[in-house]
Structure 1
Amino acid sequence: MNSTNEIPVQSNIGVVYSRHSSEYLFKQIVSERKKYDFLIPAYITVVCAGIEGKINTAFIDCLHKRLGKEYKTFVRPYLFMRIRDRFEQMPIIVSNFKYRLNTKNEKIKEIFKIFEFRNQLVHVKQHWHYADPIHDENGELISLKYKENNTNDPYRTGFVIEKLSEEELAKIFNVYKSFISKFSNIANNINRKNFNPENWFVKI
């Protein structure tokens, strides 16, 4: 039976998948760290995808509510901002200038740090390093003495995976869960009279 009354339909399957994927990857990594180290880039990337998806959805919901079908014409610039700018602009726009992001909140700081990890993992820069070779009495290479100052091994400097302890990985997952909980339907919730900013936001 056909109906002439249209209804808007929205899928949140992407964010749902990122939530389940991040949980699965986290459990795999901490179950046997050395064996599953290679999953850390995927874990960080999936967490960031879920966060970014919620931020994008907030803009989409806000503009769709105000502009209907025309929202796509106007939402595009917000979706292509760098993530920090997008995150900071989002509560201002969706709350109609009642709230801004509390950048002093430790969870917000952690989210920005997660994206820094993501960028280092995804945008890999394999620089060349120069070193003096050290050989044994048989002429076999046994080590390298790097030319750069103040570090014994610049080859591994900035290697993100080694910085991410199990505690840090768990912290990332807990911050992600808190974010997903707070930012679900944020475009509507932030405008309710009983909205609790919970230190994520501050009034303008």
Structure 2
Amino acid sequence: MTDEHPCSDDYPYVAEGPRAGIRPFALADADEFVARSRESRELHRPWLFPPDQADAYASYAGRLIEDPTKHGFLVCERDGGGIAGFININNVVQGGFRCGALGYGAFAHAAGRGLMSEGLGLVVRYAFGPLGLHRLEINAQPANTASIALARRAGFRLEGFSPDFILIDGAWRDHERWAITAEMVRAAPDAATGATSG
């Protein structure tokens, strides 16, 4: 991995906060993403298996770039542009539902620094603004306390429990269902400023 990151002129942020910005995945991110995934295996297992080979990254990023039911975002540190993690909106359904399911992961060097919390807030507001969605869901395994804490900090509410919900690493795993709606975000005070959104 090098210390260089794709040029921000070529890959601009779609939203920015004080310390983090979010931008779509690019094929040019392969080297850094793969290296960060390899460094983060201990943090991610057994919850998450992001691509850690160049060909797997190309396939993964290609789906996020091409599939209209998916929106993938890299959470980047504004100081230097390094990738801190990723947040994907999957299974987007429009029409009367206007909903998507979030999946995310921090990389080990950025874990515990608040960058993913900031990034998730940016993704939620982008989803309810430019993307026109109304509801976002997070499904997290009950023992994945870091993922659940991130959902809670972002204002998601616990809505239920789904046994044998998602096939992960060869087994069907139970998940808690967390969700947030556009109305909840508009009504909630902004964590950084105390102001309301919208």
TM-score range, shorter chain: under 0.3
Hey, which of these two has a bigger chunk of strand by percent?
2
TM-score (norm 1): 0.21
Report 1 or 2 for greater relative contact order, CA contacts < 8 Å, sequence distance ≥ 6.
1
Hey, which of these two has a bigger chunk of helix by percent?
1
Bigger radius of gyration:
1
TM-score (norm 2): 0.21
